[in-house]
Amino acid sequence: MRKDRSPRSTQKRDVWCVAAMSAGVQGAIMENIIPPMPAKRALAALDQPAPAADIGPPKRISPKVRAATDAMVSGECKNITDAGAKVGLARESLSRALSVPHIAEHLRQKVLRHLAIHAARAGATKVELLDSSNEMARDRASTFVLGLAGIQPATSPSVNVNIEVKAGYVIDLSDDPAPMRTIP
């Protein structure tokens, strides 16, 4: 029969306590170790630029999905159902296609381009509203234009600490307990 060789068996073991070694001995050992020189291939890999994240040909977007995104961005179609019906796709199919990452990014880029083109026109409209006969429109346009220039009132209301309370309950949080008065 074999003897049990489990870790709990009664064999004599040498155990070294690293914490018991003096700091001077450890320091001397660590100072004498010289790390090996990296391989030339490893150093050459550092000189090369990182590979582009988008390797390979661009992913395909069907003509119907492109037409649907164009219709939504231009404002011809207000929702996915209308855009799908216009190009001959079911709402579910177009919705599923728009949730694919590269198609969602395509739609986002189209929206950003569309907004960038019309930003100049929107700015001109705000400037024209400064001369409007409607005082509320002039006020809002001037506030908007001044806000773009960095001139605007404080957005958060200020806090009033010394408020004189006339009615209701008063909670005294002071350190000195003052005699209580009861108002009839």
What confidence score (pLDDT) does residue 32 get? 63
Return the SS3 of 132. Answer: coil
Question: With a threshold of 0.75, does the pTM exceed it?
Answer: no
- pLDDT tens digit sequence for 122-150: 888 988 998 989 999 998 888 888 888 88
Q: What percent of the chain has pLDDT over 70?
A: 64
The arithmetic mean of pLDDT across residues 47-74, rounded, is 84
Over 60: is that where the pLDDT of 107 sits? yes
Closest CA to 78 of 86, 105, 92: 86
pLDDT at 11 over 60: no
Instruction: Check pLDDT > 90 for residue 175.
Output: no
Lowest mean pLDDT among 46-60, 79-93, 127-141, 158-172: 158-172
Assess whether pLDDT exceeds 80 at residue 97: yes
Q: In Å, how far are 66, 92, 136, 184 from 107, measured between CA atoms?
A: 9, 17, 36, 71
**What's the angle, vertex CA 74, arms to CA 71 and CA 75, rounded to 5?**
85
The string over 152-164, giving b where at least 16 C-beta atoms fall within 10 Å of a residue's C-beta and e elsewhere, is eeeeeeeeeeeee
